[in-house]
Amino acid sequence: MIAAFTLLLLAADEPRQLKYVFKTGDEVKYINTNTRTTTYKKGGKKLEVSFEQKSANLWKVLSVSPDGGAEVTQTITRLRITQKGGPLGVQTIDSSGEENPPAVQGLFDDLTKSGIRFKMSPRGEVGDVVLPTKLKERLQLKKEGETSLLTEDALVRMVKGSTFILPKKPLAKGDGWDLDPYTYQESGHWITMKTRFTFEGPVEQEGRQLLKLTRSAEYDVRKPKEETGAPEVSIKRQHAEGFVLLDAATCALVESNMAESLAAETGAGAEKLETETVINSTIKLKSPDNEKAEKTSP
């Protein structure tokens, strides 16, 4: 999300069309943080497992097409992954560290020193993702039976999911739009998340004029059609909220914050298992010349 929004302002209360406007040579840097914590409770015992991925990402606009789209590169200049809980305790790998296994360090070197090219539409849709040849070859180097830290498909999906897709219709304050439902599998069940964004209009934060959008979501759980033997899942609590802040003058992304939680229960009596998953995702804009993103904790 590296460009600005063009706002077609006919009047303060009239609908406005949002679209990205790119300028060749523009650069922005974002700090992305994603955490997932799952708590399991059964028979008076409790286990908590958490995963955090934090990265510094540099975006550059290479060229702009006549239709307003752009060719862009994204470079993950630093990546740190931390996992806590389970039999191995705390595990951390950091692209800036000096104690990574050789294979992991080789992947980090190729990942942080080469840009991933793709095309981005004025609405933020991503296509034609091209990985650097050396990075692509590195991702394909895997011994039989060995688990990959990162795959080519996963990296392409990550790039495609890193932009904020704007609605096709003009928006007035209070208007909203629904994202396509997202379905994933967990604990033998299919979970569908339905997400809605609402345009809240201009706000002021610490003396800065911003535009605000809010996010809400609902979950639907269903068993697979085929019999898997998985116990029935009952949702006890669900909550999802978030916001996106844009600079009112340039409409560049300033901050994105999304929080989700889902508490479920399976089984009964001594076999009852309570599970709660909490996911937090943030994106924050950094100054392009601020090198602290790479030299200190990302």
Token code pair at residue 133: 């040849």
* pLDDT, tens digit, 9 for 90 and up, residues 49-102: 999 999 999 999 999 999 999 999 999 999 999 999 877 788 898 998 888 888
Confidence (pLDDT) at 231: 67
Length of the chain: 298
- As a whole number, mean pLDDT of residues 14-18 equals 77
User: Does the pLDDT value for residue 198 go beyond 90?
Assistant: yes
Q: Are 208 and 53 in contact (CB under 8 A)?
A: no
Confidence (pLDDT) at 137: 86
SS (H, E, C) the chain: CCCEEEECCCCCCCCECEEEECCCCCEEEEEEEEEEEEEEEECCEEEEEEEEEEEEEEEEEEEECCCCCEEEEEEEEEEEEEEECCCCCCEEEECCCCCCCHHHHHHHHHHHCCCEEEEECCCCCEEEEECCHHHHHHHHCCCCCCCCCCCHHHHHHHHHCCCCCCCCCCECCCCEEECCCEEEEECCEEEEEEEEEEEEEEEEECCEEEEEEEEEEEEEEECCCCCCCCCCEEEEEEEEEEEEEEECCCCCEEEEEEEEEEEEEECCHHHCEEEEEEEEEEEEEECCCCCHHHHCCC
Confidence (pLDDT) at 30: 93
User: Does the pLDDT value for residue 225 go beyond 80?
Assistant: no
Share of the chain above pLDDT 90, in %: 38
- As a whole number, mean pLDDT of residues 234-249 equals 85
Give the whole-angstrom CA distance, residue 151 versus residue 293.
25
Q: How confident is the model at residue 224 (pLDDT cuts 50, 70, 90)?
A: low
Domains of the chain: 4-295 (2.30.230)
Q: How many CA atoms lie within 13 A of 23 on its CB side?
A: 9
Strands 45-64 and 70-84, bridge-based pairing: antiparallel
Residues 6 or more apart from 211 whose CB is under 8 A from it?
A: 5, 199, 201, 202, 203, 245, 246, 247, 248, 251
Among 195, 177, 193, 176, smallest CA distance to 185 is for: 193
Confidence (pLDDT) at 33: 96
Token code pair at residue 147: 């688990």
- As a whole number, mean pLDDT of residues 141-157 equals 73
Give the whole-angstrom CA distance, residue 171 versus residue 199.
7
Confidence (pLDDT) at 228: 57
pTM for the structure as a whole: 0.80
- As a whole number, mean pLDDT of residues 5-14 equals 48
User: Does the pLDDT value for residue 183 go beyond 70?
Assistant: yes
Q: Are 112 and 96 in contact (CB under 8 A)?
A: no
Residues 6 or more apart from 152 whose CB is under 8 A from it?
A: 131, 136, 139, 140
Among 24, 23, 20, smallest CA distance to 122 is for: 20
Q: How confident is the model at residue 238 (pLDDT cuts 50, 70, 90)?
A: confident
Confidence (pLDDT) at 266: 83
Amino acid at the residue 240: A
- Most confident stretch, 6-10, 91-95, 218-222, 268-272: 91-95
User: Does the pLDDT value for residue 221 go beyond 80?
Assistant: no
Q: How confident is the model at residue 188 (pLDDT cuts 50, 70, 90)?
A: low
Q: How confident is the model at residue 1 (pLDDT cuts 50, 70, 90)?
A: very low
Chain-wide mean pLDDT for the chain?
83
Confidence (pLDDT) at 207: 85
* pLDDT, tens digit, 9 for 90 and up, residues 256-298: 999 999 898 888 888 889 999 999 999 999 854 444 444 445 5
